[in-house]
A and B are shown apart, each in its own frame.
Chain A
Amino acid sequence: MKYFAGIDIGSTAIKITIIDENKEMVGHRISGSGSMFYKYAQQTLGDLLKDLNISDEDVCYRVATGYGRKLFKEADENISEITANAIGAVAAAKEFGAIKTIINIGGQDSKAISLDDQGNVVNFAMNDRCAAGTGKFLDACAMNLEIGVEELGERHFNATGTPLSINSTCAVFAESEIIGLLGNSHSVEDIVSGVHYSIAKRIVKLVKRVGVKEGIYFDGGPALNGGLVNAIENEIGQKIFIPKHPQVTTSFGAAILGVDSYNYQNSGL
């Protein structure tokens, strides 16, 4: 059996997906990026292959993507995370139907990608100027509230009052807003749902720049946060599809591209 690896080196996490030649996912692994992207990426790939009982030689093509993609020297090819995300989303959402828009919230940026009927990228918008509306923003808010980032979803649904909006776009200023709200003994739940709606509004503005269409796919770590998903669905006014493994869509896409590249290169053309 031939295997293919997609390695997505992001600002916060390294995501690796292994697929077989039929483009079926065999396994995936996520680890923190830490300070040494390259070393950790190598280590994570090694660990994953060991777990899956796949030898290094059976991996015939490696595609790197993400901010740290150029640092991964063993890669046979590297592609931008936008293309990889689109390919991965279309494949992961097969049972859901056609994907027209992808929302990706990463550690340090957020993106909206618009696709045509064939699944090609036609337009994208990106918020990469600051941490507003990103995973880092959620991390910072959870930290100020002294709760774990994984608790945010549950807390959101337990809110009983009006969500308390955070007007500051800047994560640093938002911190003082949150501390002010806590100081006046507002409930953590109402603040959490306010944080989610503040991010959701920003994300929906981003999506509007590429055009809101039916068939929205949401991935990246924050897609694991049910509260944020709920807020975005309310802001955009339609259901959005969350894949089974929202963090690895992009590495999955990179691996799929690996299969195509490998087949093309070995087809004798």
Chain B
Amino acid sequence: MTSIQEHKQKHKIETPNEKQNRHKAMEAIKVLNTLKEGFKEPPKAMSYFYDLFEEVYCHQKALHTDKVKVGTMCIQIPSEIIYALDGVPIRLCNGFYTDDEIGSDLLPQKACPLVKASVGHLSSKNLTDKPDMIYSPTTCDQKTKAGTLISSFGYDVVDVDFPRTKESEISREFFRRSIRDFSVDLSHKMGRKLTKKNLRASISKIGYAQSLYHRLSEFRKSKIVPILGNDMFIVTNAFFFDKLDNWIEATEKLVQELEQRVKENLHVAGKVSPRIVYTGSPPIFPNYKIPLIIEDSDAIIVADETCSSNRMFNDRVAVDEWFVNDMIDSLADKYLKACTCPVFSKNDDRIRRIIELVRSHNADGVIYQAFAGCTVYELEQRSVLEAMEKEGISILYIESDYSPSQHGQLSTRVEAFVESLKIKNRNRK
């Protein structure tokens, strides 16, 4: 008995922030351990990324103490402009169940877990790289409203108007104006000017990062797949907050190692593991629930169509004239026209992209996840399913959230889908 009383005196009760940090560390380490231990040997170059996530989420290491941090609420804020003005973009989209639970007290029960987690995280004010300002593109309803809620916590939040159609000339002009305004606002706040030189340099640097992503993607097209889809998500997720130069260096090393792996015929999955294209609501660390179930069910994710990965890197900026105003307009076009987010009224581009990925990566099927509450992905599910059916592509639609509890039921569904793909492949031969 006395030992409990002694312990109780020795050990203080955690503060809410300490508790939140511990919960997040527990979530993070679980996923990192699974990646390190649950599959065939990961590439050595992955340890940079594993360590990065562990330092940031288990030991609360701040990465950008000397820089102005520009928070972004969605993918549509051009990081090229932020880097050109010597700021650091921090994407605030959040994947922690811990923060989702905090956000649940502030948003409707049925709201999207990603939005709840992002709001919950910001409401706690417990951030290692706290953004100095936040730009919030008015994309889906929930993100739009979240921006206003977040500003009530005392953050400097600026809405960036975003159109809900992308075919028309009006929407193109609309978003160009919006990005021009954003550039002016950020220039003022940073006390710097966008110049031909700094903007061109950052466009080409991001372009180089994109080219590295494309090289990684190339590897996944061949029969020998040298990297797990989950590891790819880790790499692209690190782009949300890492120091750009470090990210580039680590990814270059990864590219080299994968080249070697392909030469050595090192395939990270099984011989008959079906190849999957993943699409839908974005897996954001540590919510790799569905991707981990997929690769744990003897399938391999060879490509994805999500805003936390492929959509960030797929399309390059097409600049006609290298003048500041032209570059800004080109950036606006890239972030609008190339975007395949289901917020748009018509979104045939997304269906085309998925089919293209299935064909180019020789995929056997598609798994489409929508977060319960992520209305736009839920709404678009029907048209995507119909389109895939027309193309003869097998697809599984799953609705899930951030809670770790339904693992058993979900993995049974995924396993059954993977098995059906295996049988189809066998019958084809």
Interface of A toward B, CB cutoff 8 Å: 153-154, 157, 161-165, 167-169, 173, 181, 184, 186, 194, 197, 223-224, 226, 229-230, 233-235, 237-239, 242, 244-245
Q: In the assembled complex, how far is the CB of residue A96 from the closest CB belonging to chain B, in whole angstroms? A: 12
The reply to whether A230 and B27 form a contact with Cβ atoms under 8 Å apart is no
Provide the residues of chain A in CB contact with B8, threshold 8 Å: 226, 229-230, 233, 239, 242
Tell me the complex Cα distance, A161–B14, Å: 16
Task: Give A128 to B417 CA distance when docked, in angstroms.
Answer: 34
> SS class of chain B's interface: helix, strand, loop or mixed?
helix
Is the beta-carbon distance between B26 and A194 smaller than 8 angstroms? yes
Residue of B with least CB distance to A181: B33
Q: Mark B1-32, 1 if CB is under 8 A from A, else 0.
A: 10111011001011010010010011111100
Give the shortest distance, in Å, between B396 (CB) and chain A (any CB). Answer: 22
- With a cutoff of 8 Å between Cβ atoms, the chain B residues found around residue A238 in the complex are 13
Would you give the shortest CB distance from A196 to chain B, in whole angstroms?
Answer: 12
A204 to chain B, nearest CB (A): 11
Q: Are B29 and A164 in contact (CB under 8 A)?
A: yes
A229: chain B residues within 8 A (beta carbon): 4, 7-8
Q: Which residues of the partner chain B approach A165 to less than 8 Å between Cβ atoms?
A: 26-27, 30
Which residue of B13, B58, B407 has the most chain A CB atoms within 10 A of its CB atom?
Answer: B13
* Bound form: Cα–Cα A154–B26 in Å: 20
One of A162, A194, A226 near B3 (C-beta < 8 A): A226
Q: How many residues of B contact A (CB 8 A)?
A: 25
**A245: which B residues are within 8 A, CB to CB?**
1
A157 to B27, CA, bound (A): 20
Is B404 located at the chain interface by the 8 A CB criterion? yes
List of 3 A-B pairs having minimum Cβ-Cβ separation, nearest first: A226-B7, A162-B25, A226-B4
Contact yes or no, A224 B13, CB < 8 A: no
Distance (whole angstroms) from the CB of B128 to the closest CB of chain A: 16
CB distance from A59 to the nearest CB of B (A): 27
Smallest Cβ-Cβ distance to B404: which chain A residue: A167
Most chain A C-beta atoms within 10 Å of own C-beta, residue among B27, B30, B37, B407: B30
Contact between B19 and A242, CB atoms less than 8 A apart: no
What distance in Å separates the Cβ of A199 from its nearest Cβ neighbour in chain B?
13
Min C-beta distance of A254 to chain B, whole Å: 22
Choose one: B1, B13, B28, B405; the contact of A234 (CB below 8 Å).
Answer: B13
Who on chain B is nearest to A184 by CB? B37
A233 and B33 contacting across the interface, CB-CB below 8 Å: no
Query: Which residue of B3, B16, B26, B37 is within 8 Å of A163 (Cβ)?
Result: B26
When the two chains form their complex, are residues A237 and B19 in contact, meaning their CB atoms are under 8 A apart?
A: yes
Q: Are B405 and A169 in contact (CB under 8 A)?
A: yes
Q: Does B408 reach chain A (CB closer than 8 Å)?
A: yes
**A23 CA to B187 CA, complexed, in Å:** 77
CA distance A153 to B2 in the complex (A): 13
State how many angstroms separate the Cβ of A244 from the closest Cβ of chain B.
6
Residues of A within 8 A of B25 (CB): 162
Closest beta carbon of chain A to B325's beta carbon, Å: 49
A173–B22 alpha-carbon span in the complex (Å): 24
Question: Do B33 and A184 touch across chains, with their CB atoms under 8 A apart?
Answer: yes
A164 to B421, CA, bound (A): 34
